[in-house]
């Protein structure tokens, strides 16, 4: 039985990590049996991050490497119908969403004061009250360092959010009214996109992209459709 090391989420967002959500969706699409193990101490993970997939003695860190493992050793073949051109487009959008748009939500939760209650009560909901502030402060510093190193953290909050909004405008323009990114069936780019949107939608506090989401109801519809097809919910 495969095991996915992940972090929990909320009722309408199965993991507060886009990448763990994506990995679980790919597992579900592969048809393999799996269990989840929630972890709090990431230093036990091979790259200090989640998700990590355990297959027997082998640990696979990184959602893309998990995808490759599921394609090689299990029945994940959702991209088989894509042309080489579509695969290239999917790769470019995926990298944009995972390496840039993603950071807007991280910023909103960890740095933007508007996300403070969400961090304490949702993300750290299971942590004893007296430990929350210390853990939140450590996480905040870690995120600040990562975002500064990436470069995006050197921009103003308005600019960080504007980059992400422009990214999603591009996604929506490309998708048009297709049910999924490339057509009537989900492919692997949808696992990233649904994970990103589910995490944005559950971040129901006062950050600019919440207002943006509310003006685009097709995004919540898309996540519901994805969850129904992939997780049967």
Ligand X SMILES: N[C@@H](CCC(=O)N[C@@H](CS)C(=O)NCC(=O)O)C(=O)O
Cis, bond preceding 32 (omega within 30 deg of 0) = no
**Nearest distance in Å: CB 46, ligand X:** 11
**Nearest distance in Å: CB 7, ligand X:** 7
**Nearest distance in Å: CB 101, ligand X:** 13
Question: Which residue, 48 or 151, is less far from ligand X as judged by CB?
Answer: 48
**Nearest distance in Å: CB 143, ligand X:** 8
Q: What is the contact surface with ligand X in residues (CB under 6 A)?
A: 17-19, 42, 48-51, 62-64, 142
Residue of minimal Cβ distance to ligand X: 49
Question: Which residue, 161 or 192, is less far from ligand X as judged by CB?
Answer: 192
Question: Which residue, 141 or 204, is less far from ligand X as judged by CB?
Answer: 141
List own/partner pairs for 216-224 with CB under 8 A and 24 or more apart.
216/172, 218/172, 218/177, 219/168, 219/172, 222/179, 222/180, 222/193, 222/194, 222/197, 223/194, 223/197, 223/198
Alpha helices in 17-156 (DSSP H): 18-30, 63-73, 84-96, 102-110, 116-117, 129-150
Residue 205 CB coordination number (10 Å): 16
Question: Which residue, 78 or 225, is less far from ligand X as judged by CB?
Answer: 78
Our CA dihedral for 85, 99, 28, 228, rounded to 10 degrees, sits at: -90
Question: Which residue, 31 or 48, is less far from ligand X as judged by CB?
Answer: 48
**Nearest distance in Å: CB 85, ligand X:** 24
**Nearest distance in Å: CB 43, ligand X:** 9
Give burial (CB, 10 Å; 0-12/13-18/19+) of 224: middle
Residue 144 CB coordination number (10 Å): 14
């Amino acid at each position: 039985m495969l095991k996915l090391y992940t972090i929990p989420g909320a009722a309408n967002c199965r993991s507060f990590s886009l990448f763990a959500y994506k990995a679980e969706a790919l597992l579900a699409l592969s048809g393999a049996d799996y269990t989840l193990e929630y972890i709090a101490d990431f230093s036990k993970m091979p790259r200090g991050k989640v998700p990590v997939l355990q297959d027997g003695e082998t640990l696979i860190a990184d959602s893309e490497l998990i995808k490759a493992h599921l394609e090689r050793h299990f029945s994940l073949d959702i991209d088989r119908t894509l042309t080489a051109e579509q695969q290239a487009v999917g790769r470019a959008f995926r990298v944009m969403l995972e390496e840039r748009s993603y950071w807007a939500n991280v910023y909103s939760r960890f740095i933007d004061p508007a996300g403070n209650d969400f961090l304490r009560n949702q993300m750290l909901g299971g942590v004893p009250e007296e430990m929350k502030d210390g853990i939140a402060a450590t996480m905040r510093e870690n995120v600040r360092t990562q975002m500064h190193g990436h470069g995006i953290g050197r921009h103003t909050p308005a600019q960080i959010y504007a980059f992400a909004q422009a990214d999603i405008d591009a996604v929506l323009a490309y998708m048009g009214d297709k049910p999924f990114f490339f057509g009537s069936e989900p492919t692997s780019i949808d696992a990233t996109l649904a994970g990103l949107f589910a995490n944005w939608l559950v971040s129901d506090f006062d950050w600019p992209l919440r207002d943006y989401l509310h003006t685009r109801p097709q995004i919540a519809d898309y996540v519901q459709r994805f969850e129904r097809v992939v997780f049967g919910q």
